[in-house]
């Protein structure tokens, strides 16, 4: 089964991205034909500074490789190194009804967040459809926020197949729900846009500072606490063993436990969890030529597939 997903290089990756998306991408590569890419064309829709985009793309590449992306098995590349996708995006644009895009909530959300209403932002789902369809993807693992984009992709593929004959595979979404939303240090959803993240690879001292600053309620030490309402416990659940999670749950409910103790343990566990990856990340930083080569090889493998699908689409519409 071909599994494809992309992640935007729009900031440093955080543990919400890891537990909410990347970990599942990495698990799925074992049993599937994995196609993963860094969605830099998509990141342009929010107007990043050129140097930030450049640095961020490379950081995301190193993060994925450090966390266990296996390039012997999985094709891994940077979206803009496969420009065929933008040609397919144009072809798809010409059959995409405006109404379909006007209904997309992510566009409305981004405008509400203060992004300027550029055409790229509006056409974002068509580019995403091109990403998915050009690789004949069967399964697209994404967070629930992306479900509508996969539905739009299916609609576009369906319109196209109806007008021009069977050309595209209709993908299925695979909504990653094994982890509920990971909270940030202020208790809201962890997100680059809220400035409340713990980055996967930020310095250990900074992880410690952020955890110790995490917002909690003011229940006194001796009183029982509700673990399900606590963002420290939500993060503990991601990194502690089953038995330790149970222990903390009891400590919360029985009273006599201060949030400071839970924070200290959370720091230890987070650092322990990511330590082997941190080591690998440091090695990659010393070997940037290797990372560039991996991306170049990935782009070449991805282009071979993309070119075939694009030719099929060009023939179907009469460009060839």
In the chain, the N- to C-terminal Cα span, in Å, equals 30
Mark 272-299 as b/e (b = at least 16 C-beta within 10 Å). ebbeebbeebeebeeeeeebeebbeebb
Angstrom distance (rounded) from CA 311 to CA 187: 49
Binding span for ligand TRP by CB under 6 A among 53-61, 83-91, 141-149, 160-168: 141-149
Q: Which does 131 bind (CB under 5 to 8 A by kind): ligand TRP, ligand ADP, none?
A: ligand TRP
Say whether 73 is catalytic. Answer: no
- Least distance (Å) between residue 223 CB and ligand ADP: 29
The yes-or-no answer on residue 147 being catalytic is no
DSSP bridge pairs for 14: 199
Residues 79, 37 contacting (CB under 8 angstroms): yes
Count Cβ neighbours within 10 Å for each residue of 49-74 and write b for 16 or more, e otherwise. eeeebeebbbbbbbbbbbbbbebeeb
Instruction: Check residue 193 for interaction with ligand ADP (CB under 6 A).
Output: yes
Does 17 bind ligand ADP (CB under 6 A)? Our answer is yes
* Distances, alpha carbon 46 to alpha carbons 16, 106, 138, 277, in Å: 20, 12, 28, 30
From 7, 76, 67, select the one nearest 297 (Cα to Cα): 76
Question: Could you say which of 169, 170, 181, 271 contacts ligand ADP (CB under 6 A)?
Answer: 181
Binding part of the chain for ligand TRP, among 5-13, 63-71, 155-163, 286-294 by CB under 6 A, reads: 5-13
In the complex, minimum distance from the CB of residue 225 to ligand ADP, in angstroms, rounded to a whole number: 22
Stretch touching ligand TRP by CB under 6 A, among 87-95, 128-136, 207-215, 269-277:
128-136
Residue of minimal Cβ distance to ligand TRP: 6
Which two tokens mark 280?
A: 């690998």
* Among ligand TRP, ligand ADP, none, partner that 128 touches (CB below 5 to 8 angstroms by kind): ligand TRP
Give yes or no for residue 187 binding ligand ADP (CB under 6 A). no
Contacting residue, 85, 132, 235, 316, with ligand TRP by CB under 6 A: 132
Q: Does 191 bind ligand ADP (CB under 6 A)?
A: yes
CA distances in angstroms from 157 to 26, 90, 91, 122, listed in the order given: 27, 14, 11, 18
Any idea which residues carry the catalytic annotation?
Answer: 110, 189, 192
Q: Which residues contribute to the site for ligand TRP (CB under 6 A)? A: 4-8, 39, 42, 128, 131-132, 140, 142, 146, 149
């Amino acid at each position: 089964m071909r599994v494809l997903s992309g992640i935007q290089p729009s900031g440093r990756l955080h543990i919400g991205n890891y537990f909410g998306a990347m970990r599942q991408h990495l698990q799925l590569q074992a049993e599937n034909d994995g196609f993963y890419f860094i969605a830099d064309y998509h990141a342009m829709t929010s107007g990043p500074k050129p140097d930030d985009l450049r640095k961020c793309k490379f950081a995301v590449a190193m993060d994925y490789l450090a966390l266990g992306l296996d390039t012997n098995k999985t094709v891994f590349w940077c979206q803009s190194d496969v420009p065929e996708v933008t040609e397919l995006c144009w072809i798809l644009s010409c059959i995409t009804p405006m109404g379909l895009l006007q209904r997309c909530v992510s566009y409305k959300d981004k405008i509400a967040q203060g992004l300027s209403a550029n055409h790229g932002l509006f056409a974002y789902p068509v580019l995403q459809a091109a990403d998915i369809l050009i690789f004949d993807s069967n399964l697209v693992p994404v967070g629930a926020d992306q479900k509508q984009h996969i539905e739009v992709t299916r609609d576009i593929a369906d319109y196209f197949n109806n007008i021009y004959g069977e050309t595209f595979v209709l993908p299925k979404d695979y909504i990653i729900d094994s982890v509920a939303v990971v909270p940030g240090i202020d208790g809201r959803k962890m997100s680059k846009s809220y400035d409340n993240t713990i980055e996967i690879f930020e310095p250990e001292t900074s992880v410690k500072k952020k955890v110790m600053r995490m917002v909690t309620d003011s229940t006194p030490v001796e009183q029982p606490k509700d673990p399900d309402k606590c963002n420290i416990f939500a993060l503990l659940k991601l990194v502690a063993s089953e038995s330790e999670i149970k222990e903390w749950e009891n400590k919360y409910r029985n009273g006599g436990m201060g949030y400071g103790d839970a924070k200290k343990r959370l720091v230890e566990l987070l650092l322990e969890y990511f330590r082997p990856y941190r080591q690998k990340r440091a090695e990659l930083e010393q070997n940037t030529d290797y990372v560039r080569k991996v991306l170049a090889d990935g782009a070449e493998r991805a282009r071979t597939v993309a070119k075939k699908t694009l030719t099929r689409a060009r023939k179907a519409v009469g460009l060839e």
